[in-house]
Chain A
Amino acid sequence: MSRAVEQSNRAMLRARDAMDRAYAEPLDIPALARIALVSEAHFIRTFRATFGETPHRYLQRRRVERAMSMLVETGRDVTDICFAVGFSSLGSFSRTFRQIVGESPSEYRSRRSAGDATVPSCFTKAWTRPSSFG
């Protein structure tokens, strides 16, 4: 029983890691389901049960987290960053960013300054990824 949960958890984590790694590529549910060794429908359901959100939402937060970092740490323009993190239109990027972060990409950039601290990026990744858990 518990063994099955552990195997399922680890497989879901492997799929989530694949999204983290290839965040700029289109969401490929069939490929992720293959990594997790389950059917597509089962994958989305199980991912949500494991991590508390859908794969789509997780990937959105991963991309927005990357965009937040690039806005602060680089001088690249917003459109450039939008495509670099995997959004296919500026409209959907701006909408998603505002919905998740609560302000526009340029507002976010102007409010933050680079170089607050030097922490390993896995922590930045996990802790600056905007929450969808309230």
Chain B
Amino acid sequence: MTMNAITRSQLYVLDQDEALDFYVGKLGFEVNTDQDLGFMRWLTVNVPGDPQREVLLEKPGPPALDPATAEQVRELLTKGAIGGWLSITTDDAHKTYEDLVAKGVDITDEPTERPYGIDFGIRDPFGNRIRIGQMFPRA
């Protein structure tokens, strides 16, 4: 058994249009697929130039989740406890940080030099955590 790559992952979002505004409009992601499948809107995005790795922006709700469960998911998401997380690399952490501050993105951690690189934290509009780092080469 040989596995090659993680190609798709998922984040819950409260509103897919607002998610597009954030991930594409502010973070500069590309829309990979945006298709109404009837039963759901399949919306994935990727970092520019890396379409092999998609992030599904999924809206919690029926019929996948019953209404009460969907409500629990939304409550946990908005308090930052649902567990959604992305770690993204950049060539220049400080410049990326300045760009995102100018766009009004919620910052959770200023750029800081760590043993592994320079990174900072942001929050998406719904409560998901995103880490953006300029990584040092691994020893």
Please report A residues at the B interface, Cβ cutoff 8 Å: 2, 5-7, 9-10, 12-14, 16-17, 20-21, 50-51, 73, 114-115, 118, 120-122, 125
Contacts and interface: CB of A to CB of B under 8 A. Distances in A.
Contacts of A6: 14, 74-75, 77-78
Nearest to B74: A6
B79 A13 contact: yes
Contacts, number: 66
B107 A21 contact: yes
Contacts of B121: 20, 121-122
A122 B80 CA distance: 12
Interface of B: 14, 71, 74-75, 77-80, 85, 87, 106-110, 112, 114-116, 119, 121, 123, 125-127, 129, 131, 133
Given A2-B71, A5-B75, A6-B14, A21 B109 contact: yes
B98 to A, nearest CB: 15
Given A122-B121, A122-B129, A10 B78 contact: yes
B78 A9 contact: yes
Contacts of B79: 9-10, 12-13, 50-51
A9 B110 contact: no
